[in-house]
Amino acid sequence: METDQSRHLKHRDLNWLSFNERVLQEAEDREHNPLYERMKFLAIYSSNLDEYFRVRVSQLRQMKRIEKSIRKKLSLQPNKTVKKILARVKKQQERFGTIFKDQIIPDLAKNNIRLVSDTDFTSVHGDLADIWYTTHLKNTLETKLVVPSKGNSIFIENQTLYFCVTFEDDKQFGFVKIPTDSNSRFVDLGKHQGNYYITFIDDIIRYKVQSLFDHTVKGVYEMKLSRDAELYIDDELDGILAERIYKSLEQRQEGQPTRLLYDSAMPKDEAKKLRKLLNLGKIDMMPGGRYHNFNDFFKFPDPTENPELHYAEKPFIPHKVLEKSKDYFKTIRAKDQLVHFPFMTFNYIERLVEQASTDPDVTHIKISLYRVADESVLTTALLQAIDNGKDVTIFIEAKARFDEENNISWGRKFEDKGGRVIYSYPRIKVHSKILMIIRNEDDKARRYAYIGTGNFNGETSKIYCDHGLFTAHPKITKEIHRVFKVLEGELIIPRNKHLLISPFTTRRIFEKLIQQEIDTALEGKPAAITAKMNSLEDPDIIALLYKASQAGVKIRLIVRGFTCLIPGVEGLSENIEMTSIVDRYLEHGRIYLFHNGGDEQMYMGSADWMTRNLDRRIEVLTPIYDEDLFKELRAILLIQLQDNVKARVQDAEETNTYVTQKPGESAIRSQYAIYDFLKAKN
């Protein structure tokens, strides 16, 4: 375990690898996860790791440019950290390969699905591969012959698969770009004697590779280069910033290399020549398996259409109030409503915006969009609202990583229609998930709001565990109105007594609430903090939690991703218990519960306990004032605390040990238990 001994903090980038290991554990879990779902977990692991190298490892490498004396003062050791990262990733990659070869491939075969390579093609397979190659590939493949001694070079595109081809004449390399962007990664080779045969497009190219070059082929090795994904952009304002980001997206193809993943079967001398040709350092080289880009396994075909190979479908649970409502404004005005994804449909949000878009009494719609979905009911309703003369203000976060292009494209569509679009602020992201509708009622303006933990994205709502509050509470909606005034540049600081709003009050209020539990514990009274989040990193919050633990506050944390806090250390954090849940859906909700002398306080919203969420982003968390909804959300949190199927213990050694079932205790898989709880309640 790598720690900052002076502050008792785990290294965030090393601990993130512990999170991704939990994803690998899901790929291994034959007992609870069907075959195709385990393949998806391999895809998730692969996709996560690609982004990690493009962003986090890239950032560490950039630190090397900082003057050595400054790095020393800041305790920055990027080279040392990167080496530790590579060592851990190498072990995980080996585990990944074992899962694929020793579990996935045999389990596919048990279900009459044969994934065959070019070396296993029968004559029939060879004929089918020839036909497919001629029809789909022959005239479109990009190849290049490179002679390093003559100063030849080649640019390897980011995240793109290539074959590096070696020849009997070892003075040159051949490169073949594998066109997975224009072709399916997998090719159906038909059914024979009850077995379905599938091959990679990669293997069809391998099968025909000799025909692509005039030289005798000696070896064919798959490779993929990851490049720096961060955009280094000067301070700009509004649309100018958005335009700058839009133009800068090309940097993602040309950024600094961060990792070359290559087939470990490549001889060392050839790998060395390849490294020098691509001007890479030894630290950039990462040996891997025969195939890369396992995120393509999200789309691995199932010719058997066997439902047992997939998760059983869980139909949406109809919300007992919203499902029957003909007038959302009347319903929300009467009582706050709480929705839970993916157990309920995202349509409840869409229906509210749809109703607002055609309601003659609605004057304004304001929304913050962090990751804009492709064309959807929500975006269509917003466009319709503009057409119907509503004053529509849309704040679009142009810097939402990997969604910049789509977000800005949608911003332009809204602008072209006549909507008011506000883009990112320099040096701050808008991460809040908020919606406000203003409606004329009895000659007065009444505000309605939605505050959530997840993005306004109907597709991700099907796989992310999130919560959302519909409310017409006058004090909460008044403060939401002030948040939008900040986004519109009409206010600098929003006065608030109810909402937690970053970067203005969230840190101060959280620190006050934690300190309050400390003071209570020191008086010998019960004190407790229960919190669920994606990541825990802020050193000041962690220091306070350590202080609370030492004072006797009982702290129970659920942290899905990485954590810098070290739980269970005697004299430091023995009163802190932490678990992580990785399961069928992505845990994404943030819920904070404080004992508060028996009069519990709960907040829900978009912010993790990370420095960026507290100090450098616009975030909104809402208190839960409605007693019924408080009990409902608290019950969901408690179910997650009891998970003994998919929860892992987070300890100082980062063992990722599953929470064990106690004698006589029932198995509780929290995501399924929450579904059953909500189904019974609704």
* Annotated binding-site residue numbers for ATP: 48, 464, 560, 588
Q: Are strands 161-167 and 217-227 parallel, antiparallel or unpaired?
A: antiparallel
Widest Cα–Cα separation across the chain: 86
Residues paired with 467 in a beta bridge: 340
Nearest Cα to Cα of residue 357 among 369, 365, 348, 366: 365
Q: Are strands 576-581 and 554-559 parallel, antiparallel or unpaired?
A: parallel
Any idea what the Cα angle at residue 180 is, between residues 178 and 185, rounded to 5°? 110
Asked whether the beta carbons of 371 and 341 are under 8 A apart, the reply is: no
Task: Please give the single-letter amino acid code of residue 653.
Answer: E
Q: Is 36 helix (H, G, I), strand (E, B) or coil?
A: helix
Asked whether the beta carbons of 164 and 175 are under 8 A apart, the reply is: yes
DSSP 404-456: HHHHHHHHHHHHHHT-EEE-PBTTBEE--EEEEEEEEETTEEEEEEEEESS-S
Q: Determine the Cα–Cα distance for residues 423 and 397; give it in Å rounded to an integer.
A: 6
Catalytic residue annotation = 431
Residue stretches of the annotated binding site: 48, 371, 401, 464, 560, 588
Asked whether the beta carbons of 302 and 329 are under 8 A apart, the reply is: no
Residues paired with 142 in a beta bridge: 177
Q: Determine the Cα–Cα distance for residues 640 and 567; give it in Å rounded to an integer.
A: 18
Asked whether the beta carbons of 376 and 448 are under 8 A apart, the reply is: no
Residues paired with 578 in a beta bridge: 557
Q: Determine the Cα–Cα distance for residues 402 and 450; give it in Å rounded to an integer.
A: 26
